[in-house]
Structure 1
Amino acid sequence: MSTSELHRQLKDRIGVESADDAVVPLGAVGAVCLLGSAVMFLIGSPFTALPLAGFLFTVAYGLYEYQAATAKALSFLATIGTGAILALITIYLIVEALPAIRFMGAEMFTATSEPMWRTRGEEIYSLVPMMWGTLVTTVLAMLIAGPLGVAGALFISEIAPDAVREVVKPAVETLAGIPSIVYGFIGFTILNDYMMENLELTTSGSLVIVGMVVGLMSLPTVVSVAEDAIASVPESMKSGSLALGTTDWQTTKSITIPAAFSGVSAAVLLGVGRAVGETMAATVILGHAQRLPDPLYDVFGNTETLTSLIASQYGVASGTHMSALFAAGVVLFVSVTALSICSQYIERRMKHQLQGES
């Protein structure tokens, strides 16, 4: 090695070490500024912008002088921040819901006697009608989005020619870009009027209309995730089946679908999460009756969902009433979180199976 090359390498090493030494205090200053800004925001201080400005200046200087190290630190900070925000949301929901839970006790989640929801006088807050309405609309939605979504994914991935696939797949995904209020308005003005005129419903709005509309809204999620799962099945498995003399449909039915079953199940679960959390369509269509349908299985009846309850009453709620709405939010939060965890577990299991791991 020549003297010039050795000198250059030594200079580069010294420069890197000095840069690392400079990045550490710079990162410490940025972290202190960000933490101070968060604390001031939580206590409602009017000086929240000062440490935030310090953090932004520190980041700008770091990106100018030590771009790689600063970008790495920001990525780590974003990850930590996501977890911290999720934890804060969880704590805040639970703390705000505790007064109503203490007031009603277990009856908030079990009481079925009338009245179930009263905000004046002798206050009563039972979430049973809303949980039932959410469950029924979710089941109805997935009876629509599940089969149609899986069929659409199979068509796009296995059956459609390339020219058709290039048109159909973007068209299906475009459905996700339509605002939910538009879906709800169409359901209320078209489906609701049709059922009122032809089925002679006694009330405006029903669970079956919400289920149909939300099912259509969940289709893009189911189709996209299921199509990715089906496309991830190794081509060697399909080719081996075809080489044994099976038809394309037999290969799809006996090889592709079983191999992608975990991913397809995860797609359906994600669609369920989408249906559980839908707000505006249910709010526009339902008549907001806080009672159970009579009989209970009457899908043409009118009740309430957890999301529509919050959306329709938060503007006039206070005290225990507001706390009861937070309790509804806790139920939604727990439900969607559980569904998300289940879908991630199924996807991980699918990946292990396709890789031949136990």
Structure 2
Amino acid sequence: MSEVTKRNQLTRLRETFDDSATGGVVASVLAGVCLIGAFASFLLSTPYTVPFLLGFVVAAGYGWVAHQAEMARTLTFIATVSTVAILGLITVYVFVEAAPAFARMGVVEILTRTEQPLWATGRGIFSLVPLMWGTLVTTLIATVIAAPFGVAGALFISEIAPRSVREVIKPAVEVLAGIPSIVYGFIGFTVLNTWMTEKFVLPGQGSLFLAGVVIGFMALPTTVSTAEDAIAAVPESMKSGSLALGSTEWQTMKSVTLPTALSGVSAGVLLGVGRAIGETMAATVILGTVVELPDPLYDVFGNTITLTSAIAAQYGSAHGIHMNALFAAGVVLFVTVVGLSMIAQYVEARMQRKLGGQE
């Protein structure tokens, strides 16, 4: 093959590549413009939302067929940006809607008021103290159940149970994690609540203790599944090295496996805690709708409302400042979950430094 022929072939390949890249860029830009136009049209309530969406589908379809690599990069970028933008807009919306309640009551007052009345919709008085107390108590009770039992179950499935037993238990645990929360709440209210009322002669239906127990068992499968995945990811060489040095299996699990997998185990526990904090239907079914602090305060068999159950029970009839107060409860939940996420990241970073010998 002559030098001229080779040069001509390279030129044709370069031109083909340039045309493909140009076509991919045009399709990507057109898809992005159509998507932005659809979003703007939706916000402005104009009739052009559907045409913009059809344009996006056509541009993305053409780009996927003719310039798949370029369009794949564009679509993944759009998905990432859209996720961040939507979450950001939701966050801003929640804070904006909660602002009138904070402005009327005052941030300190709405978060610390303990004088009666605590929650009077007709007078525009809203204290989140009973809601936060109910959420705190139920979360602590749920964590006491989900954390130790979850870690123990994960250790058993990953390190102790025979393979045949593990193949049965692990799918069963994952199935339990998928049961709707309303089912747990209904069983707790109709079975456990009736039993506790009769045995302990409780003054009313439902209690913080019962709600915490039910939510703890709901969070247990999530904790077990996540913690088990973290423990199973520990390199086998580390376990074998510990056993070769004379350690027992229990010493290996306690001193090698758990510390190595602590970041994942902590994430599993925090996921369970997060589910306990954000649980709505089970708490709504079991607990009452009275916004009062238990008397005495440490009475776990008392009955009050949580942040999530208050939102679920009252949003249908709420309007005006009442609706803003429910959004304020949502802000408290949001800040709490963000705080838990930051703690989880700190624990993970600390364990990585410790296991890496940096401290």
Same fold (TM > 0.5): yes
Report if aligned partners of 1:214, 1:281 keep a CA contact under 8 Å in 2: yes
**Structure 1 letter corresponding to 2:251:** Q
Asked if 1:80 is matched to 2:86, the reply is no
Whole-angstrom distance in 1 between the partners of 2:43 and 2:172: 44
**Structure 2 letter corresponding to 1:99:** P
Q: Please say which of residues 282-291 and 41-50 is displaced more in the overlay.
A: 41-50
Alignment correspondent of 1:279: 280
Report if aligned partners of 1:270, 1:343 keep a CA contact under 8 Å in 2: no
Asked if 1:309 is matched to 2:296, the reply is no
Whole-angstrom distance in 1 between the partners of 2:357 and 2:18: 44
**Structure 1 letter corresponding to 2:233:** S
1:192–1:300 Cα change, 3 Å? same
Alignment correspondent of 2:164: 163
**Structure 1 letter corresponding to 2:213:** M
Whole-angstrom distance in 1 between the partners of 2:173 and 2:357: 33
Whole-angstrom distance in 1 between the partners of 2:246 and 2:157: 24
CA RMSD in angstroms comes to 1.8
Q: Deviations over 1:135-180 (max 9, x none)?
A: 1100000100001100000001110111111001111111111011
Report if aligned partners of 1:37, 1:51 keep a CA contact under 8 Å in 2: yes
Matched residue of 2:293: which SS?
coil
**Structure 2 letter corresponding to 1:127:** L
* One of 111, 114, 117 as aligned partner of 2:116: 114
Asked if 1:229 is matched to 2:225, the reply is no
Whole-angstrom distance in 2 between the partners of 1:352 and 1:12: 50
**Structure 2 letter corresponding to 1:203:** G
Whole-angstrom distance in 2 between the partners of 1:111 and 1:145: 32
Report the alpha carbon displacement of residue 9 of structure 1 after superposing the two structures with TM.
Answer: 4.5
**Structure 1 letter corresponding to 2:269:** V
Asked if 1:173 is matched to 2:174, the reply is yes
Alignment correspondent of 1:25: 26
Whole-angstrom distance in 1 between the partners of 2:132 and 2:322: 17
Report the alpha carbon displacement of residue 247 of structure 1 after superposing the two structures with TM.
Answer: 1.3
Unaligned runs of 5+ in 2: none
Report if aligned partners of 1:306, 1:332 keep a CA contact under 8 Å in 2: yes
Matched residue of 1:315: which SS?
coil
Alignment correspondent of 1:59: 60
Alignment correspondent of 2:247: 246
Normalized against structure 1, the TM-score is what? 0.95
Report if aligned partners of 2:223, 2:269 keep a CA contact under 8 Å in 1: yes
Whole-angstrom distance in 1 between the partners of 2:170 and 2:249: 21
Report if aligned partners of 2:100, 2:321 keep a CA contact under 8 Å in 1: yes
Whole-angstrom distance in 2 between the partners of 1:145 and 1:81: 34
Whole-angstrom distance in 2 between the partners of 1:357 and 1:223: 30
1:170–1:5 Cα change, 3 Å? farther
Q: Please say which of residues 343-352 and 262-271 is displaced more in the overlay.
A: 343-352
1:224–1:264 Cα change, 3 Å? same
Q: Please say which of residues 20-29 and 48-57 is displaced more in the overlay.
A: 20-29
Matched residue of 2:114: which SS?
coil
Q: Deviations over 1:217-249 (max 9, x none)?
A: 111221122112212222222112111222111
Alignment correspondent of 1:12: 13
Report if aligned partners of 2:25, 2:70 keep a CA contact under 8 Å in 1: no
1:59–1:357 Cα change, 3 Å? farther
**Structure 2 letter corresponding to 1:160:** A
Whole-angstrom distance in 1 between the partners of 2:354 and 2:162: 29
1:7–1:154 Cα change, 3 Å? farther
Whole-angstrom distance in 2 between the partners of 1:316 and 1:112: 25
Whole-angstrom distance in 1 between the partners of 2:263 and 2:154: 14
Q: Please say which of residues 295-304 and 31-40 is displaced more in the overlay.
A: 31-40
**Structure 2 letter corresponding to 1:72:** R
Report if aligned partners of 1:266, 1:346 keep a CA contact under 8 Å in 2: no
Alignment correspondent of 2:328: 327
Q: Deviations over 1:62-113 (max 9, x none)?
A: 1121111111110011011111011101100011000111011021101011
1:348–1:12 Cα change, 3 Å? farther
Report the alpha carbon displacement of residue 194 of structure 1 after superposing the two structures with TM.
Answer: 0.5
Report the alpha carbon displacement of residue 268 of structure 1 after superposing the two structures with TM.
Answer: 1.1
Alignment correspondent of 2:189: 188
Report if aligned partners of 1:146, 1:268 keep a CA contact under 8 Å in 2: yes
Unaligned runs of 5+ in 1: none
Aligned-residue identity in percent: 60
Whole-angstrom distance in 2 between the partners of 1:184 and 1:47: 44
Report if aligned partners of 1:270, 1:340 keep a CA contact under 8 Å in 2: no
Whole-angstrom distance in 1 between the partners of 2:202 and 2:346: 42
Whole-angstrom distance in 2 between the partners of 1:7 and 1:198: 92
Report if aligned partners of 1:111, 1:128 keep a CA contact under 8 Å in 2: yes
Normalized against structure 2, the TM-score is what? 0.94
Asked if 1:266 is matched to 2:267, the reply is yes
Give aligned pairs, total: 357
Whole-angstrom distance in 2 between the partners of 1:346 and 1:80: 28
Whole-angstrom distance in 1 between the partners of 2:233 and 2:129: 41
Alignment correspondent of 1:289: 290
Report the alpha carbon displacement of residue 304 of structure 1 after superposing the two structures with TM.
Answer: 0.5
Report the alpha carbon displacement of residue 39 of structure 1 after superposing the two structures with TM.
Answer: 1.2
Q: Please say which of residues 230-239 and 1-10 is displaced more in the overlay.
A: 1-10
Report if aligned partners of 2:27, 2:71 keep a CA contact under 8 Å in 1: no
